[in-house]
Chains A and B, each alone.
Chain A
Amino acid sequence: MSLASPHYSAWALLRARLAGSGYWKPLWTGRALKNHYDVVIVGAGGHGLATAYHLARDHGIQRIAVLEKRLVGYGNVGRNTTIVRSNYLLPENHYFYEDALRRWGTLSRDLNYNVMYSPRGVVDLAVSDDEVPALARRGNALRLAGIDAELLDVAALERRYPEIAPRRARRFPLAAALVQARGGTVRHDAVAWGYARAASALGVDIIEDCEVTGVRVQAEVAQGVETNRGYVRAERILFATAGHTGMIGTLLGVPLPIETHLLQAMVSEPIKPFLHTVMVSVFPGHGETYISQSDRGGLVMGGHLDGFPSYTREGTWDRMQDVVEGAVDLFPQLGGVKIVRQWAGTNDMTMDGSPIIDRLRYNNVFLNAGWCYGGFKTIPASGAACATLVATGTAPDLIKGYALSRFASGHLLDEPGRGPFPVRL
């Protein structure tokens, strides 16, 4: 580790105490932008930083820059509802997300930074008998793949999570629940900061306030990127710009199977601990609510997309109302609790709901995008796999299904099976 950030340990605490002020340094250093890199990564969010970290750690690439238009962690890595899980139906997805979930378990140690992984369980609720077979099918698919999943009836659910026992008759009575006990939450900002610190310590240049405005190409090979701080030569370029991937398509002149939509989240005033897991409930024809309680006591909630393409990062009132109604329907005792903050992130929604990790137009340009509303939970797996693709030029098996060519060949990974419409409810 470099001088910028000492290794965190009990010893470091003691040393810091003895040294007085000035012991703790910034997590990553403000290095100057150089004019030539082996790999330039555009976007200092979770995926960009994790890829930089793995490129430096696993593949020994020396000269890496992560260019960020605003601030580290300003985008979706700091705007999500911090939920991690791997209970996806399709094999291409559940193995990949499972790889991520396993990595979350050891990430704090790997990064020497506490990301506060809390395996408190993720509970998918069914509110009608018709939904139970779908939950059972997903649970069976997961168990066949060696991933934990448990289908609980209402009595077992209420025994395990007494907070869900009804205080009064529900508008949508519960029918069953699918539980993934190893799912849970991770402190989202800590993920961005932890990866930025670890990558910086390995020599990665993290350049904030640096917007990429163009790509210079010669003879069908990308030469480098134009930025607001001048031209930067790059042997390879990776775009990990999440909600702004549409702009990258415009920049390179390639249409992408992506629409940009808003997903909002909100948090209540802090209350005493009462919710000990993550509850997810889809109310057919009404909306969706997922809710968990943060360590500070606030209830973190989210739901469906707002419903139309937008880059505004404001959420609509109607969707906020849906989410809160769902939460109060699940937990009527929350009726008097106030929402104190609400925000939205831009989501790169692909036409089948699964991500894209592939080359983009040129042989040395790569794209890590299309995470829809599920990008946060995959960060450690995406970083490792994407780094392998960028470093070796070959996609590891885990992400072979995420090639852009699937939209031409028809091998779509349409998890909910609703066709090429990101927002059809």
Chain B
Amino acid sequence: MTVLSCPFCGVRELSEFEFHKTLPNAGDDPLSATYFRINRVDDSQEYWQHVRGCRAWLQVRRNPSTGQVLEMILLGTRT
């Protein structure tokens, strides 16, 4: 994984992006949301930000075993 594709800026270097956190575990209670993670080997849902670019917040689905990006969209735009 050396590049990521920003929905606004297109394909950019990985170093322009910053990982923020993985999506909290299923369940909305504050404890789970703060500390507990799903942490699957083949599917990770994450928040990233294009900090050294357009600064958009992004919702990313990746396969952490291969680094393959399955989906990268603007946060909050999933229909």
Residues in chain A within 8 A of chain B (CB atoms): 244, 246-247, 249-250, 255-260, 307-312, 314, 316-318, 351, 407-408, 420-421, 423
Contacts and interface: CB of A to CB of B under 8 A. Distances in A.
A256 B64 contact: no
Contact of A351 (B15, B35, B48): B35
B5 interface: no
A407 B31 contact: yes
Residue from A250, A310, A423 having most chain B Cβ neighbours under 10 A: A310
Given A312-B64, A316-B1, A317-B2, A307 B39 contact: no
Interface string B57-76: 00000101111000000000
A258 B37 contact: yes
Contacts of B22: 259, 309
A29 to B, nearest CB: 32
Interface of B: 1-2, 14-15, 18-22, 25-26, 31-32, 34-41, 44, 46, 48, 62, 64-67
27 contacts: A246-B37, A246-B40, A255-B32, A255-B38, A255-B39, A256-B39, A257-B35, A257-B36, A257-B37, A258-B37, A258-B39, A260-B41, A308-B19, A308-B48, A309-B22, A309-B39, A309-B64, A311-B65, A312-B1, A312-B65, A316-B14, A351-B37, A407-B31, A407-B35, A420-B34, A421-B20, A423-B19
Nearest to B38: A255
Contacts of A351: 34-35, 37
A256 B37 contact: yes
A408 B34 contact: no
Q: Top 8 A-B pairs ranked by shortest CB distance?
A: A246-B39, A308-B19, A255-B36, A257-B35, A255-B25, A318-B15, A407-B35, A351-B35
Contacts of B14: 316, 318
Given A308-B46, A311-B65, A316-B2, A407 B19 contact: no
B31 A310 contact: no
A351 B20 CA distance: 13
Given A259-B22, A260-B39, A316-B14, 12 more contacts: A246-B37, A249-B39, A255-B25, A257-B35, A257-B37, A259-B39, A308-B19, A308-B48, A309-B22, A351-B35, A407-B36, A421-B20
A83 to B, nearest CB: 26
A257 B22 CA distance: 11
B42 to A, nearest CB: 9
Given A255-B36, A408-B31, A307 B66 contact: no
Residue from B18, B31, B64 having most chain A Cβ neighbours under 10 A: B64
B66 A250 contact: no
Contacts of A317: 2
Contacts of B44: 309
Contacts of A408: 31
Nearest to B2: A317
Contacts of B32: 255
Contact of A309 (B26, B31, B35, B46): B46
A259 B34 CA distance: 12
B25 to A, nearest CB: 4
A295 to B, nearest CB: 34
B32 to A, nearest CB: 7
A304 to B, nearest CB: 12
Residue from B22, B35, B39, B64 having most chain A Cβ neighbours under 10 A: B39
Contact of B41 (A308, A311, A318, A423): A311
B2 to A, nearest CB: 7
